[in-house]
């Protein structure tokens, strides 16, 4: 509903209220109401249309940059909207540093911790997401999960060097209020962390992800949170009890509480697909001094390179893959980092797996490429952007149709910035 129509309805309601009066009071009420209606007709027509365009421009800028635009930018965006080009108007808004320093950084921050909170410092995971968004026209957003890359501060800023054992580099970058748009540079992750190039897998093997998801446990957490953050589904949504359970590890009881039905109807439905995929992380860990560093703030990612033998397993496989092996001794004993995607069959075929990939491989990089090349990955990115920009989930058929169209556009070149622009244009208001 336009502002003009809304005001006209208000005038009608005001005139109806005059019916409650009698005599002079009624005539006075009607005279005042007619005068107000005349003012709306005289001043509201063209002016409301003009204000609506400016209002849309401001809303786009507010949603993307988090702050109002300058007068010059506002008028440029208005001109784009008057010409029917809301995407260009949104692209202008994304030139503001606030888009990268606030909007994108906060968009990515929850993916970097188990609490899924935005209240964490900038780190190598979130900074790399910002870099991918900034460079969206020249990079494939899917590679965020499997390329040998991290984004760091421009050396010209003279900040603390990137470190495997602390987050000082990024904390200084954020505390200094530097423009992430202008001061992030792309580097190979292997040159920064010392990991072999083929052991790097984008943000999933970043220090922040290792600290959050490789620390302790069994490395299933990194798989689960990658699924949640980048395919928009938790294990319950991929639960399928029909897959073969031959790769479920020894630490999973086959009769929890003495009841095998719990395993057959519940546990098996997640572990039969997750364990064969999480095997790709068999050589990774996050190591820290648990006695003196309770939260692992000064820990670092650890990887068993070729030729390394873990003393507790006698292979390259990290000891954590043999945790609680006595729970079900005849369960699967992880021998290496070979993985298989059992979800290519059964109900999870609907995740849209890339038929050009084999669905099997070795190591984290190829497994994460399998996830990133799915239809579910593309749909998830669009829905996350839509929510961040429109401040709501797609709620009706028009929203769902718009999201579907954006997914189609995104899959053409995996330009995530275009998705931000299209979402802002769609949610600019009428």
Judge whether 104 lies within some domain. Answer: no
Judge whether 160 lies within some domain. Answer: yes
Instruction: Give yes or no: residues 234 and 182 share one domain.
Output: no
> What's the rounded mean pLDDT across residues 368-396?
97
Instruction: Give yes or no: residues 23 and 158 share one domain.
Output: no
Total structural domains within the chain? 4
Residue 26 has a pLDDT of: 55
Tokens 């302790």 belong to residue: 216
Instruction: Give yes or no: residues 353 and 230 share one domain.
Output: yes
Instruction: Give yes or no: residues 226 and 368 share one domain.
Output: yes
Instruction: Give yes or no: residues 359 and 392 share one domain.
Output: no
Which residues lie below 8 Å from residue 249, measured CB to CB, with a gap of 6+?
Answer: 218, 271, 275, 321, 331, 332, 333, 334
At 50-99, the pLDDT tens digits run: 448 899 999 999 999 999 999 999 999 999 999 999 999 999 999 999 99
The range of the structural domain enclosing residue 172 comes to 122-214
- Single out the residue in 166, 187, 214 at which a domain terminates: 214
Judge whether 181 lies within some domain. Answer: yes
- Single out the residue in 47, 74, 93 at which a domain terminates: 93
Instruction: Give yes or no: residues 128 and 241 share one domain.
Output: no
Judge whether 60 lies within some domain. Answer: yes
Instruction: Give yes or no: residues 289 and 357 share one domain.
Output: yes
Residue 22 has a pLDDT of: 54
Instruction: Give yes or no: residues 241 and 175 share one domain.
Output: no
pTM score, two decimals? 0.88
At 129-162, the pLDDT tens digits run: 999 999 999 999 999 999 999 999 999 999 999 9
Per DSSP, the three-state class of 363 is: helix
Judge whether 65 lies within some domain. Answer: yes
CB of 318 within 8 A of CB of 215?
no
- Single out the residue in 93, 113, 145 at which a domain terminates: 93
Instruction: Give yes or no: residues 210 and 225 share one domain.
Output: no
Instruction: Give yes or no: residues 161 and 179 share one domain.
Output: yes
At 271-320, the pLDDT tens digits run: 999 999 999 999 999 999 999 999 999 999 999 999 999 999 999 999 99
Structure tokens at 34: 């007619």
Taking each continuous run of H as one helix and of E as one strand, the counts in the chain are 18, 6
Residue 285's alpha-carbon distances to 105, 191, 282, 373, 379, in angstroms, are 26, 19, 8, 25, 30
Instruction: Give yes or no: residues 225 and 368 share one domain.
Output: yes
Give the mean pLDDT of the chain.
91
Which residues lie below 8 Å from residue 53, measured CB to CB, with a gap of 6+?
Answer: 78, 81, 82
Instruction: Give yes or no: residues 268 and 344 share one domain.
Output: yes
Which of 21-25, 203-207, 234-238, 404-408 shows the lowest mean pLDDT across its residues?
21-25
Confidence of residue 5 (pLDDT cuts 50, 70, 90): very low
**Nearest partner of 419 among 376, 388, 373, 374, judged by Cα:** 388
Confidence of residue 24 (pLDDT cuts 50, 70, 90): low
d(CA 107, CA 110): 7
Judge whether 339 lies within some domain. Answer: yes
Judge whether 404 lies within some domain. Answer: yes
Which of 46-55, 127-136, 216-225, 363-372 shows the lowest mean pLDDT across its residues?
46-55
Judge whether 109 lies within some domain. Answer: no
Better pLDDT: 145 or 14: 145
pLDDT at 12 over 60: no
């Amino acid at each position: 509903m336009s502002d003009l129509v809304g005001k006209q309805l208000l005038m009608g309601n005001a005139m109806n209220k005059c019916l409650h009066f009698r005599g002079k009071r009624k005539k006075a009420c009607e005279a005042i109401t007619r005068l107000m209606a005349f003012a709306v007709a005289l001043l509201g027509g063209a002016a409301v249309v003009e204000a609506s365009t400016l209002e849309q421009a401001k809303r786009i800028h507010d949603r993307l940059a988090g702050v109002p635009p300058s007068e010059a930018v506002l008028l440029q965006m208005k001109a784009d909207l008057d010409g029917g080009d809301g995407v260009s108007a949104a692209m202008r808004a994304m030139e503001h540093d606030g888009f990268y320093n606030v909007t994108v950084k906060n968009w990515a921050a929850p993916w970097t911790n188990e609490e899924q909170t935005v209240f964490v410092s900038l780190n190598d995971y979130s900074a790399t997401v910002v870099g991918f968004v900034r460079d969206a026209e020249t990079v494939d957003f899917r590679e965020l999960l499997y390329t040998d890359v991290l984004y760091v501060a421009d050396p010209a800023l003279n900040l603390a060097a990137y470190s495997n054992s602390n987050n000082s580099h990024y904390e200084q970058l954020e505390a200094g209020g530097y423009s992430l748009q202008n001061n992030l540079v792309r580097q190979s992750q292997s040159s920064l962390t010392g990991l072999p190039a083929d052991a790097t897998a984008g943000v999933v093997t970043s220090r922040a992800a290792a600290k959050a998801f490789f620390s302790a446990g069994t490395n299933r957490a990194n798989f689960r949170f990658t699924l949640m953050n980048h395919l928009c589904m938790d294990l319950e949504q991929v639960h399928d009890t029909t897959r073969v359970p031959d790769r479920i590890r020894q630490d999973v009881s086959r009769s929890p509480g003495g009841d095998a039905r719990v395993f057959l109807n519940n546990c098996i439905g997640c572990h039969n697909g997750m364990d064969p995929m999480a095997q790709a992380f068999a050589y990774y860990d996050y190591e820290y001094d648990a006695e003196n560093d309770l939260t692992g703030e000064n820990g670092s990612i650890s990887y068993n390179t070729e030729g390394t033998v873990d003393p507790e397993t006698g292979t390259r496989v990290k000891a954590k893959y043999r945790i609680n092996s006595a729970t079900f001794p005849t369960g699967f004993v992880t021998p290496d980092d070979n993985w298989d995607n059992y979800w290519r069959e059964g109900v999870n075929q609907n995740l849209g797996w890339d038929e050009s990939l084999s669905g099997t491989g070795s190591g984290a990089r190829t497994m994460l490429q399998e996830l990133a090349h799915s239809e579910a990955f593309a749909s998830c990115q669009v829905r996350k952007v839509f929510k961040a920009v429109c401040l709501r989930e797609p709620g009706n058929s028009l929203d769902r149709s718009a999201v579907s169209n954006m997914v189609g556009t995104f899959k053409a070149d995996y330009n995530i910035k275009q998705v931000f622009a299209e979402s802002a244009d769609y949610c600019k208001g009428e």
